[in-house]
Structure 1
Amino acid sequence: MFISNAYANAAGTQAGGETMQLIFMLVVFGLIFYFMIFRPQSKRVKEHKSLMESISKGDEVLTNGGVLGKVTKISAENDYVLLAINESTEITIKKDYITAVLPKGSIQSL
């Protein structure tokens, strides 16, 4: 009665178009989130897990805290590692806190 038919029809078709644009934008943001955040993080987690599995007795490692040491023992549960920092000092750390395995002789060169 107060709104002409042509104006009412145009508003109805425009609302459908806005819904499609909204869905398209959500899909685009989801893809950006996946490729820029989720995928690289899962790749890093997979690399760290393979690093932890490859640690063996005699490896020289670097921890998150910056401690360099040589692996002298791996616990039976395989969660903890005994590191020799020097000839008389050994510490026990959780295997998850090892950041990198260093090449042999790295500690001696320092």
Structure 2
Amino acid sequence: MFVTPAYAQAAAGGAAGAFTSFVPLILIFAIMYFLLIRPQQKKVKEHKAMVEALRRGDTVITQGGIIGKVVKVKEGDEIEVEIAEGVKVRVLRSTVGQVLSKTEPAAS
């Protein structure tokens, strides 16, 4: 018969209670986005721009650790890299991990 005021208030605030229970989940997602997802997207975008800007004469390091000079940029997703004098290998553009030295574009 006797209902304490605390139980009466909890029963009346059902909609507000449901929202407040989702606030921690929303905060966790926001933190994950800014600490993990966004920096990874930025890194992928920078890598894509670097790979698209490859030119003949650039010195590159592949993800396999091979250091060489770009000899030929083929159509599609392949480049030809010279790793020693007279030794050329074909690699995918996406496997280039770093560009050590860029060549300047030819002046027109």
Common fold by TM > 0.5: yes
Q: Which residue identity does 1:36 align to in structure 2?
A: L
The one of 83, 89, 92 aligned to 1:91: 89
Answer 1 or 2: which has greater strand percent: 2
- The alignment status of 1:23 with 2:30, answered yes or no, reads no
Cα offsets for 1:25-72 (capped at 9, x unmatched): 122112101101111011001100110011000100000011001001
Gaps of 5+ in 2: 103-108
Secondary structure at the counterpart of residue 84 of structure 2: coil
CA RMSD of aligned residues (A): 2.1
How much has 1:16 moved relative to structure 2? 4.3
Secondary structure at the counterpart of residue 17 of structure 2: helix
Instruction: Provide the residue aligned with 2:68 in structure 1.
Output: 69
Structure 1 runs, 4 residues or longer, greater than 6 Å off: none
* Identity level (%): 30
Instruction: Provide the residue aligned with 1:107 in structure 2.
Output: none
Q: Which residue identity does 2:98 align to in structure 1?
A: A
Secondary structure at the counterpart of residue 31 of structure 1: helix
Aligned length: 102
Instruction: Provide the residue aligned with 1:42 in structure 2.
Output: 41
**Following the alignment from structure 2 to structure 1, what is the Cα–Cα distance between the partners of residues 2 and 65?**
72
Secondary structure at the counterpart of residue 57 of structure 1: coil
**Following the alignment from structure 2 to structure 1, what is the Cα–Cα distance between the partners of residues 44 and 80?**
23
**Following the alignment from structure 2 to structure 1, what is the Cα–Cα distance between the partners of residues 97 and 89?**
16
TM-score by length of 2: 0.81
Answer 1 or 2: which has greater helix percent: 1
Gaps of 5+ in 1: 105-110
**Higher mean Cα deviation, 47-56 or 12-21?**
12-21
TM-score by length of 1: 0.80
